[in-house]
Structure 1
Amino acid sequence: MTKEFPVIETRRLILREVTVDDANDMFAYLSDKAVVKPMGLDPFQTVKDVWDEIGWYKSIFEEGTGMRWGITPKDSGKVIGSCGFLNMRTKHYRAEVGYELSRDHWGKGIANEALKAVIRYGYQHFLLERIEALIEPMNLPSQKLVEKLGFRREGLLRHYEFTCGKFDDLYMYSIIKEDVDF
């Protein structure tokens, strides 16, 4: 029996499962270096690269190690980004949150709205106690976003990931259930 993927609705957005039908919309932002560089990725070169990403979303959902929603404005239904959990450790009641958004939609509060809804979902449905965000030191907009939502910077993880041929330092941010007031 397959689990049904949950849909989250906010004031302006529908967060839903992405499918291969969304690949072209996703390619538009995943091929943009400004969008994927903070994720430690090279820009996607083909729609097939997006199919692999969609396959990863599907696998983490089926394995119970994460869940990634496509961010779609109610007025278009077009996928303009994604947000969700990875590295979920239910035994320890924690998960990492990640997100990206098409550059055309930066600065409009969309990432804030989606991230807030996903965090709320994690606390209510997965009974998480702790949600982490790993953010590159140069990614100031992402740091401001999570801090606005109540995340606290806990420290610098030196050479934490090897991506795009180099070692990356990452700030560890976290929010625990009692910190949330939304």
Structure 2
Amino acid sequence: MHAIIWPEGYTPGFTDNFVSNEVIVAGLSANEVWPLLAVPARWPTYYANSANVRFMDNTGPELSEDAHFYFETFGFPVHARCTEYVAPALGQPGRVAWHGWAGEEGSGDRLDVHHAWLIEDLSGGRVRILTQETQIGRPAQELRLAKPNPMLNGHQDWLDGLVLAAQGAS
């Protein structure tokens, strides 16, 4: 199975917080899942913790390399720039990742994240959906200590909603 590609400074274990969520589901393909993730305006239809999605430049409605977009999640207004975008193809997983930030640079409430997704077809008509996020900043340190972990649970909700939406669309 494939792995997330981490940019310098965001490798898990060297950041303030890291979460990893994964599902493997039979009866779905990467091509059925991909459109629900690749178009951020669709996120609120299956993930209640996302809202007010919009593009900040002349891109969209689908993500693309270097697209600047905005959404709200976990109570944070997040600006994000897509740093990786590769649609799934035969023998190749779909990959999408963004650098997201909230707060003014250099401020104590600044949060920087790298959120990455990998969607790949597996043998037997199964799909693997992996999402991982590393975070830097005081808010990340606080989230890491929270029990239950809101990031872990929130991203699992995102995965579960994504799967249900893909199953309903197929």
TM class, shorter-length: 0.3 to 0.5
Q: Which has the higher contact order (CA 8 A, sep 6+)?
A: 2
Indicate the structure with greater strand content.
2
TM-score, normalised by the number of residues in structure 1 = 0.34
Indicate the structure with greater helix content.
1
TM-score, normalised by the number of residues in structure 2 = 0.36
